[in-house]
């Protein structure tokens, strides 16, 4: 079967690789229907975060179950399924607390930009859709695997409540999905920080009520202006840089919350400032599994359409082009068809 | 009237000073019944945090109202009152959100180790007791002004819930009050980190179910052992050092919460570790005013007796001795009688 392999920064290739098989009795093997390139893959592609050379890459997937191990009870061959980028048993103490991405037996999914994927802990990881989805629904279902689940977690971690004023820092796929999540959770006002016209438009379509183009201190000042000088109730940090963390912290009202889902790169938290801010903070890799059943229902009903973040679709053969397009910011997010 | 004046690190003296008067129409002037020395005063006393020379010091107080300004509506002369170390209007957006210590018009109380104290924004700051308290209740009422309110906020910020497993880092007056608050909020298990026998005893009397004497990595390992390897639901950080912050963070389960109320000194938060921990974090100077009515009721009914943290009582004349006793850790907390 064919799968993407990371050779070095800037060098991802589609290659013939051994087909994955059931190794443990809890495994499932899927034939992918769609996969994609993540903003976090770019950290490797750009050589900022190390990645093992000559390793399979990709962690977002939807597909049809081909085969399951002897201990798999709920997932069956032929089902269309979605899973998170962390496999989880969904039964340990951390899973029961809703933090499946901290599962005591978690396994990071890798090698999902491929035709076939082995999913460990299949019963705890995969959720089947109510039936075979229409082709046009596939992009939306694929986002639930990571970016939409991550945007959703940002909103939950920032404790977005009905009627709230919410700021979203970051207009990548996760930030746009975070706008959608905040609107779904009942936010009255969703302020998207964005200076790219196409992304602004998508943010508005997803429920942003205001767009702020200023950044840094000026961005904070604009948010304060819009919130009677006190700041927003919830701020969703979807970038991970030092500047974006500070902007998020400083845009939040005392007693408000920051949910931070951008993987931190060089971010440094001024502890004294955090202390005096009275801002609550929670972040981390999204426990996507917690939100999957609810998100699938919303997608199936047509209440959410996060698949619109894909602005380029390529055949899996062109995985190298997909990375380039995202690296050069020519695309928000690229969907790959095996 | 006589009041304590900070001259230099290690040099606090009781001096004759001008009697405070009503300056603004929202002011009240109190005759203090009791005041005390705070752990945070020691940062100044030890020269670690700068304090303006020849300035009145002290921020904890209970007393009887002597005089009020023309715009004071709810507070009346003769009432026994308690207020926080931050005066607040209790009407602005931040106060309404429950963060009176971030009041848009807040004023830090200073000069409360004195016979008379001017309290700005009296209606928003002071809460009267149901009547004149018995003398033996005064120490408990005095703790509500800061240490008990701060311990309560630590528990609330760490989202202590009925049935929870809670860890308290720090066995000073605030830490001990935090143990009491966690127990009052229904924690099933309260693990106090302490290696001082008298403090351990008081922690147990306040509701600690377990005592851990280990610190740092060993302390974290002990807590993990006691919590099926995952960590505590809520951890109350009542010290403010780098070591205590790390210990708190690492003792918390994924999805759990740290409430941090120790004023940070040299603390540095490893952002990546915080991210992957899934731990929620909220801190700051306690919005004591939010908790005063409830805490007064509990104290009045005898449900809480945090006054036991005072293990030394001195006349206000001996304020210098009071600082020395706390600096040398001969006393947990010293009550001063004007």
Enumerate the residues of chain A whose CB falls inside 8 A of the CB of residue B267. Answer: 271
Indicate if A10 and A137 belong to the same structural domain: yes
Strands B232-237 and B165-169, bridge-based pairing: parallel
Strands B2-8 and B11-16, bridge-based pairing: antiparallel
Last residue of a domain, one of A260, A283, A306: A283
**A11, A36, A80, A316: which is closest to A177 by C-alpha?**
A36
Indicate if A304 and A333 belong to the same structural domain: yes
Indicate if A91 and A200 belong to the same structural domain: no
Indicate if B230 and B268 belong to the same structural domain: yes
Question: What is the number of domains present in chain A?
Answer: 2
pLDDT at B67: 98
Indicate if B269 and B158 belong to the same structural domain: yes
Pick the residue from chain B with its C-alpha nearest to A102.
B254
Last residue of a domain, one of A283, A312, A327: A283
pLDDT at A268: 87
Residues (pLDDT < 50) of chain B are: none
Q: What residues pair up with B259 in beta bridges, in sequence order?
A: B236, B282
Indicate if A9 and A130 belong to the same structural domain: yes
Tokens 């002037």, residue located = B29
- Residue A195: pLDDT over 90: yes
Tokens 């046009």, residue located = A136
Indicate if A179 and A86 belong to the same structural domain: no
Indicate if A185 and A276 belong to the same structural domain: yes
Indicate if A317 and A198 belong to the same structural domain: no
Structure tokens at B51: 């304090």
Extract long-range pairs of A74-80: CB within 8 Å, 24+ residues apart.
A74/A123, A75/A28, A75/A122, A75/A123, A75/A126, A75/A128, A76/A128, A79/A128, A79/A129, A80/A33, A80/A128, A80/A129, A80/A131, A80/A132, A80/A133, A80/A141
* pLDDT tens figures, A196-246: 999 999 999 999 999 999 999 999 999 999 999 999 999 999 999 999 999
- Residue A261: pLDDT over 90: yes
Q: Tell me if B331 sits within 8 A of B308, measured CB to CB.
A: no
How many Cβ atoms are within 10 Å of B170's Cβ, its own excluded? 28
What lies within 8 Å, CB to CB, of A10 at 6+ separation is A45, A46, A47
pLDDT-above-70 percentage for chain A: 100
- Residue A266: pLDDT over 90: no
Report CB contact under 8 Å: A263, B283.
no
pLDDT at B268: 87
Mutation for B interface: A161, A231, A275, A291, most B CBs within 10 A: A275
pLDDT-above-90 percentage for chain A: 98
Last residue of a domain, one of B283, B302, B325: B283
* pLDDT tens figures, A117-157: 999 999 999 999 999 999 999 999 999 999 999 999 999 99
Report CB contact under 8 Å: A99, B278.
yes
pLDDT at A30: 98
Indicate if A67 and A87 belong to the same structural domain: yes
Distance CA B11, CA B7 (A): 6
Enumerate the residues of chain B whose CB falls inside 8 A of the CB of residue A283. Answer: 274-275, 278
* pLDDT tens figures, A213-225: 999 999 999 999 9
Q: Quick check: B106 contacting A, CB < 8 Å? A: no
Mean pLDDT of A22-48: 96
For residue B216, give its domain range. Answer: 148-283
Pick the residue from chain A with its C-alpha nearest to B255.
A99
H or E stretch including B299? helix B288-300
**A119, A64, A115: which is closest to A87 by C-alpha?**
A119
CATH assignment of the domain containing B49: 3.90.180.10
CB pairs A-B closer than 8 Å: 100
* pLDDT tens figures, A54-97: 999 999 999 999 999 999 999 999 999 999 999 999 999 999 99
Query: CB-CB: which of B269, B280, B287 is closest to A282?
Result: B280
* pLDDT tens figures, B218-270: 999 999 999 999 999 999 999 999 999 999 999 999 999 999 999 998 888 89
CATH assignment of the domain containing B201: 3.40.50.720
Indicate if B109 and B180 belong to the same structural domain: no
Q: Tell me if B215 sits within 8 A of B223, measured CB to CB.
A: no
**Is the ipTM beyond the 0.90 threshold?**
yes
Report CB contact under 8 Å: B98, A255.
yes
Indicate if A73 and A16 belong to the same structural domain: yes
């Amino acid at each position: 079967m064919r799968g993407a392999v990371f050779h070095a920064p800037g060098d991802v290739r589609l290659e013939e690789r051994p087909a994955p098989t059931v190794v443990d009795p809890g495994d499932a093997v899927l034939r992918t229907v769609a996969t994609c390139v993540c903003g976090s893959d770019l950290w490797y592609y750009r050589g900022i975060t190390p990645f093992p050379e000559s390793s399979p890459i990709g962690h977002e997937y939807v597909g049809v179950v081909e085969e399951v191990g002897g201990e798999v009870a709920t997932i069956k061959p032929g089902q269309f399924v979605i899973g998170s980028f962390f496999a989880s048993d969904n039964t340990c103490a951390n899973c029961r607390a809703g933090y499946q991405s901290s599962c005591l037996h978690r396994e990071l999914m890798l090698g999902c930009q491929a035709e076939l994927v082995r999913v460990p802990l299949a019963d705890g990881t995969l959720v089947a859709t109510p039936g075979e989805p229409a082709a046009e629904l596939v992009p939306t279902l694929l986002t639930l695997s990571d970016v939409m689940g991550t945007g959703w977690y940002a909103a939950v971690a920032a404790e977005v409540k009905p009627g709230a004023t919410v700021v979203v820092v970051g207009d990548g796929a996760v930030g746009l999905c975070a706008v959608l999540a905040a609107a779904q959770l009942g936010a009255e006002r969703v302020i998207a920080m964005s200076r790219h016209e196409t992304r602004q438009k998508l943010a508005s379509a997803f429920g942003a009520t205001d767009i702020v183009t200023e950044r840094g201190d000026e961005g904070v000042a604009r948010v304060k202006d819009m919130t009677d000088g006190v700041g927003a109730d919830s701020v969703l940090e979807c970038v991970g840089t030092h500047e974006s963390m500070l902007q998020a912290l400083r845009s939040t009202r005392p007693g408000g919350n920051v949910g931070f889902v951008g993987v931190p790169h060089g971010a440094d938290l001024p502890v004294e400032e955090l202390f005096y801010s009275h801002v609550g903070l929670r972040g981390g890799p999204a426990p996507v599994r917690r939100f999957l059943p609810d998100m699938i229902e919303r997608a199936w009903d047509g209440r959410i359409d996060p698949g619109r973040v894909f602005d380029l679709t390529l055949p899996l053969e062109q995985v190298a082009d997909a990375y380039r397009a995202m690296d050069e910011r020519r695309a928000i997010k690229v969907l790959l068809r095996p």
